[in-house]
Amino acid sequence: MSGNGPVAPLGLARKGFRGRIDTIAAADTASNHKAVELERRLLELGFVEGAQVEILHEGPLGRDPIAVRVNDTTIALRRREAMAVLVA
């Protein structure tokens, strides 16, 4: 799926961004266990490869948290969590 264009973390996108999830890749240097837990949680929330995503809202301070629509579900995420979602 990466061939559709450049891939970037969802955590860097701005309000109004629309794209598709390429992969989930949490990187936590302090503990691999935390990275695995984050990936599992994101998958349970519907952040799966190929799902359509859109950023609906950004928080007032530091643009955090963000409201993300994944397919037909709206979810609030911290930007640091959204960095594990790679989108195209």
Report residue 20: phi and psi, to 5°. Answer: -125, 145
For tokens 């837990």, name the residue: 37
Residues with Cβ within 8 Å of 41's Cβ and at least 6 positions away in sequence, in order, are: none
**CATH 3.30.565.10 is the classification of domain 2-87:** no
Q: Given this model, what pLDDT does residue 1 score?
A: 42
pTM of the shown model = 0.87
Q: Given this model, what pLDDT does residue 20 score?
A: 97
**Cβ contact 22:10 at 8 Å:** no
Per-residue pLDDT of the chain (88 residues; tens, 9 = 90+): 445 679 999 999 999 999 999 999 987 656 677 889 999 999 999 999 999 999 999 999 888 999 999 999 999 999 999 999 999 9
